[in-house]
Amino acid sequence: MPETVTVATLSEGALLSRIFPRLSLPAPHTDALLLGPGDDAAVVAAPDGRTVISVDTQVQDQDFRLAWPNGYRSTGFDVGWKAAAQNLSDINAMGATATSMVVSLTLPADTPVAWVEELADGLVAGISELGAQHCSVAGGDLGRGREISVTVAVLGNLDGGAPVLRSGAAPGDTVALAGTVGCAAAGLALLESSVPFDSLTPAQRHFVDLQSRPRPPLHAGPVALAAGATAMLDISDGLLRDGLRLATASGVALDLDPAALAPLAAALQPAADVLAVDPVAWVLGGGEDHGLLSTFPADIQLPVGFTAIGSVRALGFNEGPGVNIAGRAAGTGGWDHFAD
Protein backbone atom coordinates (compact mmCIF):
# COMPACT_ATOMS: atom_id res chain seq x y z
CA MET A 1 0.00 0.00 0.00
CA PRO A 2 1.56 3.35 -1.02
CA GLU A 3 2.54 5.73 1.76
CA THR A 4 0.18 8.70 2.25
CA VAL A 5 1.80 12.02 1.37
CA THR A 6 1.00 14.54 4.11
CA VAL A 7 1.40 18.30 4.20
CA ALA A 8 4.36 17.86 6.56
CA THR A 9 6.36 16.26 3.75
CA LEU A 10 6.03 19.34 1.52
CA SER A 11 7.21 22.92 1.81
CA GLU A 12 4.61 25.68 1.81
CA GLY A 13 5.60 26.56 -1.74
CA ALA A 14 5.28 22.95 -2.88
CA LEU A 15 1.84 22.65 -1.31
CA LEU A 16 0.70 25.89 -2.93
CA SER A 17 1.92 24.60 -6.26
CA ARG A 18 -0.48 21.68 -5.82
CA ILE A 19 -3.40 23.96 -4.88
CA PHE A 20 -3.15 26.98 -7.20
CA PRO A 21 -3.78 25.14 -10.49
CA ARG A 22 -6.95 23.63 -9.01
CA LEU A 23 -8.32 27.07 -8.08
CA SER A 24 -8.23 28.39 -11.63
CA LEU A 25 -11.56 29.50 -13.07
CA PRO A 26 -12.33 30.85 -16.56
CA ALA A 27 -14.04 34.13 -17.47
CA PRO A 28 -16.51 35.55 -16.48
CA HIS A 29 -15.40 34.31 -13.03
CA THR A 30 -12.22 36.34 -13.36
CA ASP A 31 -13.75 39.59 -14.64
CA ALA A 32 -13.23 41.38 -11.29
CA LEU A 33 -9.83 39.82 -10.57
CA LEU A 34 -7.08 42.27 -11.52
CA LEU A 35 -4.26 40.50 -9.66
CA GLY A 36 -4.56 36.99 -8.31
CA PRO A 37 -2.41 34.67 -6.17
CA GLY A 38 1.35 35.19 -6.10
CA ASP A 39 1.86 38.59 -4.47
CA ASP A 40 1.33 39.80 -0.92
CA ALA A 41 -2.26 40.74 -1.69
CA ALA A 42 -4.78 40.38 -4.47
CA VAL A 43 -6.34 43.27 -6.38
CA VAL A 44 -10.06 43.12 -7.17
CA ALA A 45 -12.14 45.61 -9.13
CA ALA A 46 -15.05 47.33 -7.37
CA PRO A 47 -16.94 49.01 -10.22
CA ASP A 48 -19.91 49.89 -7.99
CA GLY A 49 -17.65 51.88 -5.66
CA ARG A 50 -18.85 49.74 -2.75
CA THR A 51 -17.86 46.23 -1.68
CA VAL A 52 -20.04 43.73 0.14
CA ILE A 53 -17.90 41.42 2.31
CA SER A 54 -18.57 38.41 4.49
CA VAL A 55 -16.34 35.90 6.29
CA ASP A 56 -17.02 32.53 7.89
CA THR A 57 -14.96 29.71 9.40
CA GLN A 58 -15.37 25.95 9.56
CA VAL A 59 -13.42 24.18 12.32
CA GLN A 60 -12.91 20.43 12.46
CA ASP A 61 -15.12 18.68 15.05
CA GLN A 62 -17.04 21.90 15.62
CA ASP A 63 -18.51 22.63 12.18
CA PHE A 64 -17.68 19.37 10.43
CA ARG A 65 -16.28 15.93 11.20
CA LEU A 66 -13.95 13.82 9.16
CA ALA A 67 -15.68 10.66 10.41
CA TRP A 68 -19.34 10.47 11.45
CA PRO A 69 -21.09 7.99 13.79
CA ASN A 70 -23.08 6.43 10.92
CA GLY A 71 -19.90 5.58 8.98
CA TYR A 72 -19.87 8.49 6.52
CA ARG A 73 -16.50 10.21 6.02
CA SER A 74 -16.41 13.87 5.00
CA THR A 75 -14.12 14.45 2.06
CA GLY A 76 -12.04 17.52 1.41
CA PHE A 77 -14.42 18.15 -1.48
CA ASP A 78 -17.37 18.28 0.95
CA VAL A 79 -15.63 20.79 3.21
CA GLY A 80 -14.49 22.97 0.31
CA TRP A 81 -17.97 23.02 -1.25
CA LYS A 82 -19.61 23.89 2.08
CA ALA A 83 -17.09 26.65 2.76
CA ALA A 84 -17.90 28.19 -0.60
CA ALA A 85 -21.66 27.74 -0.27
CA GLN A 86 -22.15 29.27 3.16
CA ASN A 87 -20.13 32.36 2.30
CA LEU A 88 -21.67 32.85 -1.14
CA SER A 89 -25.06 32.65 0.56
CA ASP A 90 -24.26 35.59 2.86
CA ILE A 91 -23.45 37.76 -0.17
CA ASN A 92 -26.63 36.53 -1.83
CA ALA A 93 -28.67 37.54 1.23
CA MET A 94 -27.68 41.17 0.72
CA GLY A 95 -28.95 41.08 -2.85
CA ALA A 96 -25.38 41.17 -4.16
CA THR A 97 -23.36 39.07 -6.60
CA ALA A 98 -20.12 37.46 -5.43
CA THR A 99 -16.99 38.64 -7.23
CA SER A 100 -14.03 37.07 -5.41
CA MET A 101 -13.02 34.82 -2.57
CA VAL A 102 -9.95 34.46 -0.35
CA VAL A 103 -9.26 31.31 1.67
CA SER A 104 -7.20 30.68 4.80
CA LEU A 105 -6.32 27.07 5.69
CA THR A 106 -4.98 25.81 9.00
CA LEU A 107 -3.81 22.22 8.68
CA PRO A 108 -2.35 19.59 11.04
CA ALA A 109 0.94 18.15 9.87
CA ASP A 110 -0.62 14.74 9.18
CA THR A 111 -3.29 16.07 6.80
CA PRO A 112 -3.05 14.14 3.51
CA VAL A 113 -2.10 16.36 0.59
CA ALA A 114 -4.81 14.63 -1.46
CA TRP A 115 -7.42 15.85 1.06
CA VAL A 116 -6.25 19.44 0.61
CA GLU A 117 -6.37 19.05 -3.17
CA GLU A 118 -9.93 17.75 -2.84
CA LEU A 119 -10.82 20.81 -0.76
CA ALA A 120 -9.58 23.10 -3.53
CA ASP A 121 -11.64 21.11 -6.04
CA GLY A 122 -14.71 21.43 -3.79
CA LEU A 123 -14.32 25.20 -3.52
CA VAL A 124 -14.16 25.58 -7.29
CA ALA A 125 -17.04 23.16 -7.88
CA GLY A 126 -19.17 25.00 -5.34
CA ILE A 127 -18.50 28.33 -7.01
CA SER A 128 -19.19 26.96 -10.49
CA GLU A 129 -22.10 24.61 -9.89
CA LEU A 130 -24.00 26.90 -7.53
CA GLY A 131 -23.99 29.59 -10.19
CA ALA A 132 -21.56 32.16 -8.78
CA GLN A 133 -20.44 32.88 -12.32
CA HIS A 134 -18.56 36.08 -11.54
CA CYS A 135 -16.63 34.79 -8.50
CA SER A 136 -12.99 33.67 -8.50
CA VAL A 137 -10.48 32.62 -5.84
CA ALA A 138 -8.14 35.59 -5.45
CA GLY A 139 -5.70 34.12 -2.93
CA GLY A 140 -5.36 33.13 0.70
CA ASP A 141 -3.08 31.81 3.41
CA LEU A 142 -1.68 28.55 4.77
CA GLY A 143 -0.85 27.76 8.38
CA ARG A 144 -0.25 24.83 10.73
CA GLY A 145 -2.46 23.96 13.69
CA ARG A 146 -3.96 21.18 15.78
CA GLU A 147 -7.15 20.80 13.72
CA ILE A 148 -8.31 21.67 10.24
CA SER A 149 -9.78 25.16 10.00
CA VAL A 150 -11.10 26.70 6.79
CA THR A 151 -11.83 30.44 6.74
CA VAL A 152 -13.33 31.99 3.62
CA ALA A 153 -14.03 35.65 2.92
CA VAL A 154 -16.13 36.64 -0.07
CA LEU A 155 -16.49 40.02 -1.75
CA GLY A 156 -19.61 41.03 -3.63
CA ASN A 157 -20.99 43.70 -5.95
CA LEU A 158 -24.39 45.40 -5.58
CA ASP A 159 -24.32 46.67 -9.18
CA GLY A 160 -25.75 50.03 -8.16
CA GLY A 161 -28.56 48.68 -5.99
CA ALA A 162 -29.17 49.25 -2.29
CA PRO A 163 -28.34 46.30 -0.03
CA VAL A 164 -31.33 44.41 1.34
CA LEU A 165 -31.03 44.58 5.14
CA ARG A 166 -32.73 42.67 7.94
CA SER A 167 -34.30 45.86 9.23
CA GLY A 168 -36.71 46.83 6.44
CA ALA A 169 -39.71 44.55 7.01
CA ALA A 170 -42.97 46.49 7.44
CA PRO A 171 -46.43 45.49 8.71
CA GLY A 172 -48.47 43.96 5.90
CA ASP A 173 -45.45 42.56 4.06
CA THR A 174 -45.45 38.97 2.83
CA VAL A 175 -42.88 36.62 4.40
CA ALA A 176 -41.36 34.40 1.71
CA LEU A 177 -38.82 31.62 1.43
CA ALA A 178 -36.41 30.74 -1.38
CA GLY A 179 -34.56 27.44 -1.24
CA THR A 180 -35.11 24.75 1.37
CA VAL A 181 -35.24 24.47 5.15
CA GLY A 182 -34.77 21.35 7.26
CA CYS A 183 -32.97 19.24 4.67
CA ALA A 184 -29.48 19.85 6.06
CA ALA A 185 -30.76 19.25 9.60
CA ALA A 186 -32.26 15.94 8.48
CA GLY A 187 -28.91 15.06 6.94
CA LEU A 188 -27.08 15.97 10.14
CA ALA A 189 -29.44 13.81 12.20
CA LEU A 190 -28.75 10.87 9.88
CA LEU A 191 -24.99 11.44 10.08
CA GLU A 192 -25.12 11.47 13.88
CA SER A 193 -27.40 8.44 14.10
CA SER A 194 -26.62 4.74 14.45
CA VAL A 195 -28.28 4.02 11.10
CA PRO A 196 -25.39 2.91 8.83
CA PHE A 197 -24.81 5.23 5.90
CA ASP A 198 -24.56 2.26 3.54
CA SER A 199 -28.12 1.23 4.47
CA LEU A 200 -29.71 4.58 3.61
CA THR A 201 -31.99 4.88 0.60
CA PRO A 202 -31.19 7.37 -2.20
CA ALA A 203 -33.87 9.70 -0.79
CA GLN A 204 -32.25 9.60 2.64
CA ARG A 205 -28.75 10.06 1.24
CA HIS A 206 -30.02 13.18 -0.50
CA PHE A 207 -30.34 14.85 2.90
CA VAL A 208 -26.78 13.86 3.83
CA ASP A 209 -25.65 15.38 0.55
CA LEU A 210 -27.44 18.66 1.36
CA GLN A 211 -25.78 18.76 4.78
CA SER A 212 -22.36 18.08 3.26
CA ARG A 213 -22.83 20.17 0.12
CA PRO A 214 -25.57 22.79 0.63
CA ARG A 215 -27.26 24.36 -2.39
CA PRO A 216 -28.18 27.96 -1.57
CA PRO A 217 -30.37 29.63 -4.24
CA LEU A 218 -27.75 32.14 -5.39
CA HIS A 219 -30.01 33.46 -8.15
CA ALA A 220 -32.59 34.56 -5.61
CA GLY A 221 -30.79 37.39 -3.79
CA PRO A 222 -30.33 39.79 -6.73
CA VAL A 223 -33.78 38.82 -8.02
CA ALA A 224 -35.32 39.71 -4.66
CA LEU A 225 -33.50 43.04 -4.62
CA ALA A 226 -34.79 43.88 -8.09
CA ALA A 227 -38.33 42.86 -7.13
CA GLY A 228 -38.40 45.21 -4.14
CA ALA A 229 -37.64 42.95 -1.16
CA THR A 230 -37.89 44.97 2.06
CA ALA A 231 -35.78 42.67 4.25
CA MET A 232 -33.77 39.49 3.78
CA LEU A 233 -31.31 37.16 5.49
CA ASP A 234 -29.62 33.82 4.98
CA ILE A 235 -31.19 30.98 6.99
CA SER A 236 -28.04 29.47 8.45
CA ASP A 237 -29.16 28.86 12.04
CA GLY A 238 -32.81 27.88 11.62
CA LEU A 239 -36.07 29.43 10.46
CA LEU A 240 -37.17 30.48 13.96
CA ARG A 241 -33.83 31.84 15.15
CA ASP A 242 -33.11 33.71 11.93
CA GLY A 243 -36.74 34.82 11.67
CA LEU A 244 -36.40 36.31 15.15
CA ARG A 245 -33.29 38.18 14.03
CA LEU A 246 -35.19 39.70 11.12
CA ALA A 247 -38.20 40.52 13.31
CA THR A 248 -35.99 42.13 15.97
CA ALA A 249 -34.04 44.20 13.46
CA SER A 250 -37.30 45.40 11.88
CA GLY A 251 -39.27 45.84 15.11
CA VAL A 252 -42.14 43.62 13.95
CA ALA A 253 -43.71 40.20 14.44
CA LEU A 254 -43.63 37.44 11.83
CA ASP A 255 -46.75 35.29 11.62
CA LEU A 256 -45.93 32.01 9.86
CA ASP A 257 -48.65 29.97 8.17
CA PRO A 258 -48.76 26.32 9.36
CA ALA A 259 -50.34 25.27 6.06
CA ALA A 260 -47.37 26.71 4.16
CA LEU A 261 -44.90 24.95 6.46
CA ALA A 262 -46.57 21.53 6.19
CA PRO A 263 -45.21 20.67 2.70
CA LEU A 264 -41.70 21.55 3.89
CA ALA A 265 -42.03 19.00 6.68
CA ALA A 266 -43.60 16.40 4.38
CA ALA A 267 -40.55 16.58 2.09
CA LEU A 268 -38.39 15.42 5.01
CA GLN A 269 -40.45 12.31 5.75
CA PRO A 270 -37.94 9.78 4.32
CA ALA A 271 -35.42 10.82 6.98
CA ALA A 272 -38.04 11.23 9.70
CA ASP A 273 -39.36 7.69 9.14
CA VAL A 274 -36.03 5.96 9.67
CA LEU A 275 -35.26 8.06 12.78
CA ALA A 276 -38.83 8.05 14.12
CA VAL A 277 -38.95 11.81 14.70
CA ASP A 278 -41.26 14.70 13.82
CA PRO A 279 -39.77 16.55 10.81
CA VAL A 280 -41.42 19.83 11.86
CA ALA A 281 -38.55 20.34 14.32
CA TRP A 282 -36.09 20.30 11.41
CA VAL A 283 -38.16 22.82 9.45
CA LEU A 284 -38.30 25.25 12.36
CA GLY A 285 -34.89 24.74 13.93
CA GLY A 286 -32.64 23.28 11.26
CA GLY A 287 -29.95 25.46 9.74
CA GLU A 288 -27.32 25.15 7.01
CA ASP A 289 -29.63 24.82 4.01
CA HIS A 290 -28.81 28.50 3.40
CA GLY A 291 -32.16 29.39 1.93
CA LEU A 292 -33.34 32.99 1.98
CA LEU A 293 -35.99 34.40 4.31
CA SER A 294 -37.35 37.57 2.73
CA THR A 295 -40.19 40.04 3.06
CA PHE A 296 -41.97 41.76 0.18
CA PRO A 297 -44.73 44.36 -0.07
CA ALA A 298 -48.05 42.51 -0.16
CA ASP A 299 -49.15 44.18 -3.40
CA ILE A 300 -46.34 42.80 -5.57
CA GLN A 301 -46.05 39.38 -7.19
CA LEU A 302 -43.38 37.27 -5.55
CA PRO A 303 -40.41 36.63 -7.84
CA VAL A 304 -39.85 33.17 -9.26
CA GLY A 305 -38.30 30.87 -6.68
CA PHE A 306 -39.99 32.44 -3.65
CA THR A 307 -42.93 30.90 -1.77
CA ALA A 308 -45.12 32.77 0.70
CA ILE A 309 -44.97 31.29 4.22
CA GLY A 310 -46.50 34.07 6.31
CA SER A 311 -46.93 37.78 6.90
CA VAL A 312 -45.45 40.66 8.85
CA ARG A 313 -47.50 42.25 11.61
CA ALA A 314 -47.10 45.35 13.75
CA LEU A 315 -46.34 44.65 17.40
CA GLY A 316 -49.26 44.57 19.78
CA PHE A 317 -49.41 46.29 23.14
CA ASN A 318 -46.56 45.11 25.38
CA GLU A 319 -45.43 42.66 22.68
CA GLY A 320 -41.81 42.23 21.65
CA PRO A 321 -40.51 41.18 18.23
CA GLY A 322 -40.95 37.50 17.58
CA VAL A 323 -42.07 34.66 15.34
CA ASN A 324 -45.54 33.21 15.76
CA ILE A 325 -47.22 30.13 14.32
CA ALA A 326 -51.00 29.86 14.42
CA GLY A 327 -51.10 32.81 16.79
CA ARG A 328 -48.66 31.36 19.33
CA ALA A 329 -45.07 32.42 20.01
CA ALA A 330 -42.80 29.84 18.45
CA GLY A 331 -39.63 30.40 20.49
CA THR A 332 -36.24 30.33 18.82
CA GLY A 333 -34.70 26.88 18.41
CA GLY A 334 -31.94 26.63 15.83
CA TRP A 335 -28.20 26.85 16.30
CA ASP A 336 -26.11 29.10 18.50
CA HIS A 337 -22.32 28.70 18.37
CA PHE A 338 -21.85 29.42 22.06
CA ALA A 339 -25.13 28.37 23.70
CA ASP A 340 -25.41 24.96 21.98
Residue 335 in marked binding region = yes
Q: Where are the alpha helices (DSSP H) in the chain?
A: 12-19, 76-92, 113-129, 183-191, 202-212, 220-227, 239-250, 258-266, 269-275, 280-285
Residue 63 in marked binding region = yes
Residue 236 in marked binding region = yes
Residue 194 in marked binding region = no
Would you state the torsion angle of the CA atoms of residues 145, 236, 335, 195, taken in this order, to the nearest 10 degrees? -80
Residue 140 in marked binding region = yes
Residue 55's φ and ψ, nearest 5 degrees, are -140, 145
Type of residue found at 249: A
Residue 40 in marked binding region = yes
Residue 31 in marked binding region = no
Residue 278 in marked binding region = no
| 37 vs 17: CA distance, rounded Å | 11
Return the closest-CA partner of residue 111 out of 140, 84, 136, 74: 74
Residue 66's φ and ψ, nearest 5 degrees, are -80, -35
Residue 73 in marked binding region = no
Buried b (16+ CB within 10 A) or exposed e, 129-153: ebbbbbbbbbbbebeeeeebbbbbb
Residue 150's φ and ψ, nearest 5 degrees, are -125, 115
CA distances from 275 to 51, 302, 325 (A): 44, 35, 25
Residue 90 in marked binding region = yes
The helix or strand, by DSSP H or E, that contains position 293, with its residue range, turns out to be strand 291-296
Residue 319 in marked binding region = no
**Which residue numbers belong to the known binding site for ATP?**
140-141, 166, 236
**Which residue numbers belong to the known binding site for Mg(2+)?**
40, 54, 56, 90, 141, 234, 237
**Which residue numbers belong to the known binding site for substrate?**
63, 288, 335
**Which residue numbers belong to the known binding site?**
40, 54, 56, 63, 90, 140-141, 166, 234, 236-237, 288, 335
